Structure 1
């Protein structure tokens, strides 16, 4: 019945033509005339009109014709057999699982393979799923330009057939990609097209997530006052939505804004509350991921509590080894452990963790690779291994060259400059300082 509802909701002549053509093709394969197919329930002229695309069959007639032709209703409507549909569903599930587990290159390849399947032509919803999945996998592979192109094409080309929830999820991804790319203005524009009117739409979980993406874009372009006011509105909206996920999303976004505006106590309090709610309601794997991010906030806002963070991260690391957590989460956990050990004045222990991280960075986004090499350079400098620190900083420069001119990039260049100054490479240090200033328009 759901299949029939989707067919009649399309309301397009092309769909009618294709259904008629399939009925005609199967009828001929069965060696039946139009009169034989029609008898006794229908007239042969009615069957002729259906086959020529001049008449839209009712749900009951479609069901009857599928039975008389001894084929599946799925095939008449979508042009795929039940077996093909099962295979498509299986491939979609495999690609989604690969993406969730951090196997981003594999996910990208699987989605591309799916989109090359001619069977998807008659399955607009499944095609959208594959296009959206490909965009996310492309983003995860670090190809932001490619992801933006895919998301923009999906947003424009399939707008009429796209469910409201998918419209919002595409806007979330597009906002995020533009922000990470360094184009915070475009990021804000995408989100505000939906959320920026004088009258807000009825809030949903999806719109709360879009709101958090908008908050991050405000923060990235330095519009912290606006971010603070909108964050308060988002928290109130999350209370109206009333779901744990909506509340956690809003709390976490506001915690990040609190970090950016130097409100350390507020940041920790908001993060504490978000983690407590999610620990009761979230999937264990996602809870572990949130704990990793929580430890990062604590390390930034309360470096004196590095010991507490280290112990927490050590427990999370053990949990991640026994779970199907994705590679990015495992990498970030080891990275933050190294940072905690460095803050505790234990550079040798930090080096052990950073070596583990370095073994995992292949195929990761360039920004994340730069962060890892930067921490490695700090660790080597602390150990007095200046040559190794210098080599790590060369890797940092290679990853940051051509990177978006965001505040995060500026901070990375600033840290690199300080480490270069420490290991007595003044010329490279001056260049890194200049690059940091250029990132903030100075």
Structure 2
């Protein structure tokens, strides 16, 4: 062989049976060659047959002959095989329908992998918890995130630990487990500070921490964390800046500062181009519409405009979960507009899909339902159910949600002007 061919043989190759034999047979058949034609001039047909069957390992001399006869590079015979978990991960990641195809594949693979392939198990769990979260399967997302956090702590890579604890805190917050969410969010921020984690990841960790502190009604601490992020807003791009302003607006809402919240939301909306991230553009408008309806007094016209803008995008790129969330906000809008009939209809449409919503959204939907009951005359039933909601929120450690529930109950019982009965049908 020439110098170029000899050079091609340099360097370590992984040539293991039976994978090598299968690859050899594939190459031979692809070229339309018989075993005798490939073996000619270097080895016997019987030996080649044993190579293809995996019964004999290849030697350097045999490899040189095969490279020459088949006209390939030695690396063509590289026989690194995917592990079972690696193969499943590859199939799941490349699947067109992630929800239908990838989820059951990854679920089964993670359950059967045990302690093998730690790196692939980490990637599989990360993919799994993300997919569950996008599909609105919060209990499954949380279970995968808990397992992933333990594995990440075992691996010990700071960046992975920070990302996983941030995601775990988000899952816990969405599930209403506020006390545990706070522990995980604080751990993520501590890891980020100790190991100088890149700014985008650090910002995400602080955003989750701010939201959890706000849910805990620890508003002084939430505001202090918000100020730290505001100090670096000039360094953030449109996407990151919009998320930061959105989170800080939530703090202002909880501080009973609707003017400050509105200014931050308006700034976030101005800074985000729909072409940069249509999904975030849509989500931000839905969030802004929801926050506008929570203001005192509610900004109904602004909420309706934002909701209409978001709905146009939901129809194009939204998931089933986004459609449910949109109906939730539309129900609150109908209620604030005094259309109890439309609000009830939207509630009944959302009710079967409640498990796909976050804990806070589930509570707010049930709260709305019971407001409707009270205004329709079923006061005792509505009040009892609202008291139960407050008790459960207290058990979850969600102090801000508890105060919101009691405030809404008091407002509803006092007969707010905007919560009117639907108009009577016209006489014939």
- Decide which of 228, 249, 256 is 1:255's aligned counterpart: 249
**1:356 aligned to which of 349, 361, 379:** 349
Query: Which stretch has the larger CA shift, 137-146 or 224-233?
Result: 137-146
1:253–1:391: structure 2 CA closer, same or farther, 3 Å change rule?
closer
Match of 2:418? none
Partner residue of 1:210? 205
Check if 1:221 corresponds to 2:216: yes
1:77-116 matches, cutoff 5 A: 78-79=82-83, 85=87, 88-94=89-95, 97-98=98-99, 108-115=103-110
Deviation (angstroms), 1:313: 1.6
Q: Distance in 1 between matches of 2:333 and 2:310?
A: 14
Larger relative contact order (Cα-Cα within 8 Å, sequence gap ≥ 6): 2
Provide closer, same or farther for how the CA distance between residues 416 and 196 of structure 1 changes in structure 2, counting only shifts above 3 A: same
8 Å Cα contact 1:148/1:178 also seen in 2: no
Residues 218 and 109 (structure 1 numbering): CA distance in 2 closer, same or farther, change over 3 Å? same
Q: Which residue of 1 aligns with 2:300?
A: 306
Aligned to 1:390: 381
Q: Which moved more, 1:171-180 or 1:392-401?
A: 392-401
Deviation at 1:213, TM superposition (A): 1.1
Give ranges in structure 2 of 5+ residues lacking alignment: 1-11, 23-48, 65-71, 416-428
- Please list, as runs of the form range in 1=range in 2, the aligned pairs for 1:42-191 lying within 5 A after superposition: 66-67=75-76, 70=77, 73=78, 75-76=79-80, 78-79=82-83, 85=87, 88-94=89-95, 97-98=98-99, 108-115=103-110, 126-137=120-131, 140-143=136-139, 146-160=143-157, 164=159, 166-179=160-173, 180-183=176-179, 185-191=182-188
C-alpha deviations, 1:74-103, integer Å up to 9, x for none?
Answer: x5164479xx85x643422549843xxxx8
Q: Counterpart in 2 of 1:10?
A: none
Distance 1:148 1:27, change over 3 A: closer
Shift of the 128–228 alpha-carbon distance from structure 1 to 2, 3 Å rule, reads same
- 8 Å contact 1:335–1:357 — kept in the other structure? yes
1:367 CA drift (Å): 4.4
1:38 and 2:60 are equivalent in the alignment? yes
Contact 2:162–2:189 (CA under 8 A) maintained in structure 1: no
1:366–1:283 Cα change, 3 Å: same
Q: How do residues 319-338 of structure 1 correspond to structure 2 at under 5 angstroms?
A: 319-320=313-314, 322-338=315-331
Change (3 A) 1:313 1:273: same
Separation in 1, partners of 2:260, 2:166: 26
Cα displacement (A) at 1:378? 0.8
Q: CA deviation at 1:324?
A: 3.6
8 Å CA contact 1:95–1:110 kept in 2: the answer is no
Distance 1:399 1:94 in 2: 43
Query: Whose helix fraction is larger, Structure 1's or Structure 2's?
Result: 1
User: Secondary structure of 1:31's partner?
Assistant: helix
1:406 corresponds to 2:398: yes
- Aligned equivalents of 1:367 and 1:287: distance in 2? 22
SS at match of 1:349: helix
Distance (Å, rounded) in 2 between the aligned partners of 1:330 and 1:258: 27
1:374-424 deviation digits (Å, cap 9, x = unpaired): 211112322x2418x83796498489748512124423652686489689x
| TM-score, normalization by structure 1 | 0.67
- Secondary structure at 1:23's aligned position in 2? coil
TM-align CA RMSD: 4.2
Counting matched residue pairs gives 362
CA contact (8 A) 2:288 2:306 kept: no
Answer whether contact 2:238 2:273 (CA < 8 A) is retained.
no
Q: Does 1:192 align with 2:205?
A: no
Equivalent residue runs for 1:336-347 within 5 Å: 336-347=329-340
- Describe the superposition over 1:179-209 as per-residue Cα deviations: whole angstroms up to 9, x where unpaired: 4412154134312322455xx8264222211
The answer to whether the 8 Å contact 2:89/2:106 transfers is: no
- Larger radius of gyration, structure 1 or 2? 2
**CA distance 1:145–1:354, shift in 2 (3 Å):** closer
